[in-house]
Amino acid sequence: MLRRIMTTAVALLALTLATGACLAQFALKQGDRVVFYGDSITDQRLYTTFVETFVVTRFPGLNVTFTHSGWGGDRVTGGGGGPVDVRLKRDVIAYKPTVMTVMLGMNDGSYRAFDEGIFKTYADGYRNIVSTMKGALPNLRMTLIRPSPFDDVTRAPAFPGGYNNVLVRYGDFVQQLADEKKLGVADLCTDVVAMLKKANTTDAALAQKIIADRVHPGPAGQLTMAACLLKAWRAPALVSSVEIDARAGKATSTQNCTVGGVTPGAKLTWTQLDKALPMPVDSKEATFALVLASSDFQETLNRQIVRVAGLSGGSYRLSIDGREAGVYPAADLARGVNLALAATPMAEQAARVHALTLSHNQVHFTRWRQVQLPLDWCKSPKSDAALAAMDAWDADIARQQRQAARPVPHTYTVEAAQ
C-alpha cells in the first residue's frame, strides 16, 4: 500500500512539473489581461476567439481575460471608431491590459502597388501606436502581428507582383519595429499562404472559399491564423499522452494526465484524467477538413495521443464512457492515435467552452458597439449602471467558461471490433 501511495505521489509530482514547464514557456501568465487590437479581420472575432478558447482549454487553471477590440476599416491612423488616439484610450488602455496584440496593414496599403508615401504613413502611424501604448502602460507586453495575407494564391493577382507582396513588405517593417523595440512578433502571413498553396493544389474550387473575398478569412482560415499567434506565444502541442501495455495491464507512460484502474483482458479498460482539453474543431465541415489537411495544426497544437501496446493483430474499438471514439488497427494503436478530432466527451466539453467564449464576447461587443458608443450622447447614471451590469454579465459568462473547461475523468475501453 505504501509503495502504491509513493508511486502515485511521484507520478502526480512529475505531472505537475511537466504541466508547469509548459506553462513557464508559454507567453501568457497568471492574471494577464489580453486585448486584441486591429481592423475588420480582428473585428471578425475568429482568430481571436480561437486563441482564447485554446488558452482556456489547454490551461484550465490559468486566469487570463480577453478583450476583442477590432474595428472594421481601421488603419494605423484610426477609422470608423475614431482617430487612433481615441481608439487606443477608449478601446485598449481603458482595460489596463498586460498583453496587447496589434494587427494592422490590410487597409493601410490601399489595395494597390507599393507606394512610398502610403508606406511612410503606415510606418509613422505604427510607431505612434507603440509609443502611445508604452507611454501609457510601460510594462505592457506587446505582440506585433505581420498582416494576414491577401489571397493572391487561389486567384490571379490584380497587378504585377500582387497585393500580398505589398503586405509582406509591410510585415517586414513590423518585424523590424518589433526587433528594434524588443517586442513580440507573430507572422500571420507565411503559414497561411503555405496552407493556401497546398489547399489550392488539392481542391482549387474549395480553396477559394477559405478567404472568399481575398481579404477576410472564414473560420477555417482564421484557425490557421490563430495557430500562428499561438506558436509565436510558444503554445504546447500536447493535450495529453498515455501509453498502455495491454498484456501487463499498466500504464507505461503518461504526459499531462493521470491514469488508474488499468484492467487487462478481452476488454481492456482504464480511467484517465487529462489536465487539458483538445481544441474544438469542426473537422467534418469541408473547408475545415481541407485546411487541417493542408496545415500542421494537429501536429503542432492539438495532440491527444493514446498508445496501446501488446494487442494481437486485427482491429479494435476504442470507446470512452461507453461511446465509440473510433476503430483502429492494432498497429495504429501501437504507434499512437490522435483523438483530438475524434467524437469524444472531451471534444464535446471543449465545444461547450468555445460556445461560452463566443457568448461572453458577444455580450462585450453588444455593450461596446451597440450601447456604449452609439448612445453616449444621452448618458445618465442609469446608463452607467446598465453598462456595469453588462460588464458583470460578461465576467460571469467568462467564469462559466473557465469552470466548463475543467477536465473530468473518463473510462476508456479497448476491445476487438466485431
Rounded Cα distance, 333 and 309, in Å: 7
Number of separate domains in the chain? 2
Do 243 and 189 have their domain in common? no
The confidence score (pLDDT) of residue 23 equals 75
Question: pLDDT tens digit string along 162-182?
Answer: 999 999 999 999 999 999 999
Residue 13 lies in a domain: no
Residue 156 lies in a domain: yes
Rounded Cα distance, 309 and 260, in Å: 17
Sign of CA dihedral 299, 304, 310, 314: negative
CATH code at position 183? 3.40.50.1110
Residue 385 lies in a domain: yes
Residue 94 has pLDDT above 90, yes or no: yes
DSSP class of residue 47 equals H
Rounded Cα distance, 354 and 360, in Å: 10
Do 172 and 277 have their domain in common? no
Structural domain ending residue among the three candidates 232, 251, 267: 232
The confidence score (pLDDT) of residue 112 equals 98
Burial class (CB in 10 A: 0-12, 13-18, 19+), 378: exposed
Averaged over 207-217, what is the pLDDT? 98
Do 416 and 279 have their domain in common? yes
The confidence score (pLDDT) of residue 73 equals 97
Do 246 and 210 have their domain in common? no
The confidence score (pLDDT) of residue 24 equals 84
Rounded Cα distance, 28 and 48, in Å: 14
Residue 313 has pLDDT above 50, yes or no: yes
> In which residue are the cell numbers 499562404 written?
193
Residue 10 has pLDDT above 50, yes or no: no
Averaged over 384-413, what is the pLDDT? 97
pLDDT band, residue 1 (cuts 50/70/90)? very low
Structural domain ending residue among the three candidates 184, 207, 232: 232
Q: Which domain holds residue 266?
A: 237-418
Residue 11 has pLDDT above 60, yes or no: no
Do 85 and 204 have their domain in common? yes
Averaged over 376-403, what is the pLDDT? 95
Question: pLDDT tens digit string along 106-147?
Answer: 999 999 999 999 999 999 999 999 999 999 999 999 999 999
Averaged over 318-337, what is the pLDDT? 97
Question: Taking all residues of the chain, what is their mean pLDDT, rounded to a whole number?
Answer: 94
Do 228 and 244 have their domain in common? no
Q: Which helix H or strand E contains 307, and what residues bound it?
A: strand 303-309
pLDDT band, residue 2 (cuts 50/70/90)? very low
263 with 413: CB under 8 angstroms? no
The confidence score (pLDDT) of residue 3 equals 43
Do 168 and 71 have their domain in common? yes
Rounded Cα distance, 82 and 96, in Å: 20
pLDDT band, residue 18 (cuts 50/70/90)? very low
Residue 13 has pLDDT above 50, yes or no: no
Residue 8 lies in a domain: no
pLDDT band, residue 20 (cuts 50/70/90)? low
Do 109 and 204 have their domain in common? yes
Residue 15 has pLDDT above 90, yes or no: no
Do 220 and 332 have their domain in common? no
Mean pLDDT lowest among 11-25, 38-52, 270-284, 370-384: 11-25
The confidence score (pLDDT) of residue 14 equals 43
Question: pLDDT tens digit string along 394-408?
Answer: 999 999 999 999 999
The confidence score (pLDDT) of residue 96 equals 98
Structural domain ending residue among the three candidates 207, 232, 257: 232
Residue 20 lies in a domain: no
Question: pLDDT tens digit string along 300-312?
Answer: 999 999 999 999 9
Measured in whole angstroms, how far is the alpha carbon of residue 25 from the centre of its chain?
16
The confidence score (pLDDT) of residue 183 equals 98
Do 136 and 285 have their domain in common? no
SS3 of 226-263: the string is: HHHHHHHCCCCCEEEEEEEECCCCEEEEEECEEEEEEE
Residue 162 lies in a domain: yes
Do 124 and 263 have their domain in common? no
Residue 1 lies in a domain: no
Collapsed DSSP state (helix, strand, coil) of residue 52 = helix
Residue 401 lies in a domain: yes
Averaged over 334-360, what is the pLDDT? 97
pLDDT band, residue 21 (cuts 50/70/90)? low
Do 215 and 243 have their domain in common? no
Averaged over 28-41, what is the pLDDT? 98
